[in-house]
């Protein structure tokens, strides 16, 4: 049994140290696959989510200058993302039945094609075509991550989920400043080309690395003496039918949908907001970089906290910080206090990515996670992107400010926290766990 230790908990027993070198090497190789899947997921989120969402604001003014498009016309591309929600249930079914390897690889290739279209675009319909390709490719890139982390790391899934999806924050921390330099130098087409080529490399890695579940001997084992709010067990193993017939499912669905407004209603509008408040493009990009850095650190912390406090409680705290953080950003205006407000928002925002998936996984289990998360993603990926960016663009075009749309976002985040707080686990589930 000593040969089945987690890569997070390297063996230290005397019997383990006496194993033949060949067996220890084989065990090390096997366990490395789980970590390889984590890092493939990391780079997937970096270039898919980071490139399309963190990077979105960097291209708004260059596209406006190059083609004369309005903010509303540019933001419509974000609302095209509702396609992601419409196909999410189908993606979930495919994950449960056929696995993740082909889906993730194909999605990365499709997203790469979307960015190659942007490299050569000259008309508004080219911009919308790339948005369609991106919307089709994104669900299969992200939806498998929760199930992969739950299967490979049942005892540390919070931390592993946090690590796997920090890629978008690292992109904001490192990629956004680099892309700003590229846009200022070679130009925005070159910046899109860099993202596209990077996605091709990650697609090859995904094809080589991803496997849906560990083989016998590769399972993560709990570390003796360590307790977790989650453990390896889930509150239930529910089918989709069982889940949707319960009140708790709908409360959680509405709650995480409110969190889904974070990108289309706030993150993608942050740089344009700061520029409208008088910040230069470099200073505004620095603000986004600071947010990304804080979200990166806090994401790992929220993953750990979800194992101690449960994902549900952690989610409530994180989205409450986001709501108050948006208000502070509004009140700070163009002053340097906006930096502090952005950092504060980032502490909560960092947790939302992993916690939205972990809340569903914790409540309904691993066996039917693909189908259940597919239905959740259908709503999360349609309602916010259909409403948020167009509303923000229209408010800016009519008022010259993003303040009113940010107030709306703050109220939505607060409502999300209340909804998830109301989604208490059944007493019998708590007793059984």
> What CATH number did the domain enclosing 363 receive?
1.20.1250.20
- Residue 186 DSSP label: T
For residue range 199-253, list pLDDT tens digits in order. 999 999 999 999 888 877 666 666 655 444 455 555 667 888 888 888 999 999 9
Residue 267 burial (CB count, 10 A): 23
Report the pLDDT value the prediction gives residue 218, as an integer from 0 to 100: 65
Average pLDDT, stretch 278-299? 83
Number of folded domains that form the chain: 1
pLDDT of residue 11 exceeding 60: no
**Cα 185 to Cα 100, 173, 208, distances in angstroms:** 39, 19, 35
Determine if residue 219 is left, alpha or beta; phi over 0 gives left, psi from -120 to 50 gives alpha, anything else beta.
beta
pLDDT of residue 73 exceeding 80: yes
Task: Report d(CA 392, CA 75) in Å as an integer.
Answer: 8
> 117-121, 292-296, 315-319: which has the highest mean pLDDT?
315-319
Which residue matches tokens 């603000």?
287
pLDDT of residue 315 exceeding 90: yes
Residue 14 included in any domain: no
Average pLDDT, stretch 293-302? 84
Residue 12 included in any domain: no
Task: Report d(CA 433, CA 147) in Å as an integer.
Answer: 20
pLDDT of residue 327 exceeding 70: yes
Residue 304 included in any domain: yes
Q: Is 62 exposed, middle or buried (0-12, 13-18, 19+ CB in 10 A)?
A: middle
Residue 19 included in any domain: no
Residue 55 included in any domain: yes
Residue 5 included in any domain: no
Helices (H), 211-336: 240-244, 247-259, 262, 268-276, 281-309, 311-332
Report the pLDDT value the prediction gives residue 21, as an integer from 0 to 100: 46
Residue 427 included in any domain: yes
| Tokens representing residue 25 in the block | 């090497």
Residue 4 included in any domain: no
Cβ contact 266:276 at 8 Å: no
Task: Please give the residue range of the domain that contains residue 359.
Answer: 25-221+228-432
**Cα 215 to Cα 231, 250, 350, distances in angstroms:** 20, 35, 32
């Amino acid at each position: 049994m000593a040969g089945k230790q987690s890569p997070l908990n390297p063996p230290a027993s005397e019997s383990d140290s006496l194993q033949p070198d060949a067996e220890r090497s084989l065990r090390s190789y096997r366990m490395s696959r789980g970590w390889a899947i984590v890092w493939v997921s990391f780079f997937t989120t970096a270039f898919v989510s980071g490139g399309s969402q963190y990077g979105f604001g960097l291209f708004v003014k260059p596209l406006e200058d190059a083609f004369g498009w309005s903010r509303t016309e540019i933001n419509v591309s974000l609302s095209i993302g509702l396609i992601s929600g419409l196909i999410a249930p189908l993606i979930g079914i495919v994950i449960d039945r056929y696995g993740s390897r082909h889906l993730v690889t194909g999605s990365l290739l499709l997203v790469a094609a979307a960015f190659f279209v942007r490299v050569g675009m000259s008309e508004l319909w080219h911009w919308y075509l790339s948005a369609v390709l991106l919307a089709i490719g994104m669900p299969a890139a992200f939806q498998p991550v929760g199930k992969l982390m739950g299967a490979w790391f049942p005892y540390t899934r919070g931390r592993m989920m946090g690590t796997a999806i920090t890629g978008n924050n690292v992109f904001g921390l490192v990629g956004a400043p680099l892309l700003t330099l590229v846009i200022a130098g070679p130009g925005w087409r070159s910046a899109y080309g860099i993202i596209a080529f990077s996605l091709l490399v990650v697609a090859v890695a995904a094809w080589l690395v991803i496997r849906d579940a560990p083989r016998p001997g590769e399972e993560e084992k709990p570390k003796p003496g360590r307790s977790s709010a989650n453990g390896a067990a889930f509150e239930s193993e529910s089918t989709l039918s069982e889940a949707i017939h319960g009140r708790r499912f709908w409360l959680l669905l509405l709650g995480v949908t409110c969190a889904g407004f974070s990108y289309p209603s706030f993150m993608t509008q942050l740089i344009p907001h700061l520029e409208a408040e008088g910040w230069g493009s470099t200073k505004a990009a620095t603000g986004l970089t600071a947010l990304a850095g804080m979200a990166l650190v806090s994401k790992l912390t929220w993953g750990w906290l979800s194992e101690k406090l449960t994902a549900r409680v952690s989610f409530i705290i994180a989205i409450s910080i986001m709501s108050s953080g948006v208000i502070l950003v509004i009140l700070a205006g163009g002053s340097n206090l906006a930096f502090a407000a952005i950092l504060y928002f980032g502490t909560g925002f960092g947790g939302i990515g992993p916690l939205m998936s972990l809340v569903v996984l914790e409540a309904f289990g691993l066996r039917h996670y693909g189908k259940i998360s597919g239905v959740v993603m259908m709503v999360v990926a349609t309602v916010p992107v259909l409403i948020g960016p167009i509303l923000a663009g229209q408010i800016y075009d009519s008022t010259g400010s993003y303040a009113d749309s940010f107030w709306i976002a703050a109220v939505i985040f607060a409502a999300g926290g209340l909804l998830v707080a109301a989604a208490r686990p059944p007493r019998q589930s708590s007793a059984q766990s």
